[in-house]
Amino acid sequence: MKKSKLLLLFLLLAKGAIAVCNAQDKSSYLPELHGTIRAKYEYAPQINRGRSEVRNARLSVNGKIIPQITYKAEIDLSDEGKIKMLDAYARFSPTNAPASITLGQMRVPFTIDAHRSPHQQYFANRSFIAKQVGNVRDVGVAAAYSFGETVPVTVEGGIFNGSGLTNQKDYWTKSYNFSVKTTVKFLERFTAVGSVQKTRPEDINIIMWNAGAYYHTPHWHIEAEYLRKNYSGGAFSGVNAIDAFACRRFLVRKYANGISVLARYDYMSDHSDGIKDENGSLTANDKERHRLTFGTTLHFGTKKLFADLRVNYEKYFYKQSVTPSMSERDKIVVELMCRF
């Protein structure tokens, strides 16, 4: 019932936003409606099975009340088949100051790849850092400040409940989570990122450290990052995660406006989500694995309205004693992503 009411409320809000945007008044204060649809087919040759899935069906409304106060609300109607409220925040940015304060529910400032929205991803499936190890959304307050002209630097940080996306009303705590992220740009093409985050899923503190960098031009994107996850009191062995990939984009003249060729290596050691089992111990929810991903992407559209047609092949490597889950095996993925 709660999900149905949430969906109805969001659809009414979106409908109102569209009606206003279609009005004659084109004021910059009118809300903007955006959406992302990701539909894909996956085939696992090792077990000779396939599946079709709507991975994301996101809608978001954002705008401003006055130049200094902006807002955003985002819902996913099909996040792996579930309805989820994602972003819901208001932001204050002082006039002529490179700073902001954000209150509400948001993606916490941490890592490179985990901070990407679905329409910004390079591959059909997220890296292990973005999906299992460093994927955190929470409710709280965050601030950001930028400085430097020759070498621009942005520092972001926040304090969060640790309650996640659904347990807010009756969640009272004296042990807050925090996250801090620093981004430094060099020569307009190089970007280095360092971040640290503390979480507490139950009664065990988890500290994560992340460092990464990327090189970006209109034709190339080369990126690598490393994440270390430590559990207090030795409750679980520290987790190491790596994500490294390269993307080369070529211009085409017919049917599409670009084609990219990509390759990625990512790795994750035995990983626990921090939730104890029935025996009161932390166990590995995700077994150690290596993965190679090769793919190509056709790009269509413009900067505001665009679509990507991706074809990826993923090759997994496990220890002989591990039996992979159905969705974590070698597979071919064909995905169409539309952003509007």
* Residue 17: per-residue pLDDT: 54
pTM over 0.85: yes
Q: What does the pLDDT profile of the chain (340 residues) look like in tens digits? A: 555 655 565 555 555 555 554 444 556 788 999 999 999 999 999 999 999 999 999 999 999 999 999 999 999 998 877 888 899 999 999 988 899 999 999 999 999 999 999 999 999 999 999 999 988 889 999 999 999 989 999 999 999 988 766 667 777 877 889 999 999 999 889 999 999 999 988 889 999 999 999 999 999 999 999 999 999 999 999 999 999 999 999 999 888 899 999 999 999 999 999 999 888 899 999 999 999 999 999 999 988 899 999 999 999 999 999 998 888 999 999 999 999 9
Amino acid at the residue 62: N
* Residue 24: per-residue pLDDT: 42
Residues paired with residue 154 on neighbouring β-strands, in sequence order: 146, 183
- Give the residue from 330, 266, 339, 331 showing the smallest Cα distance to 309: 339
The whole-angstrom separation of Cα 119 and Cα 58 is 10
* Residue 80: per-residue pLDDT: 75
Domains of the chain: 2-339 (2.40.160.10)
* Residue 37: per-residue pLDDT: 96
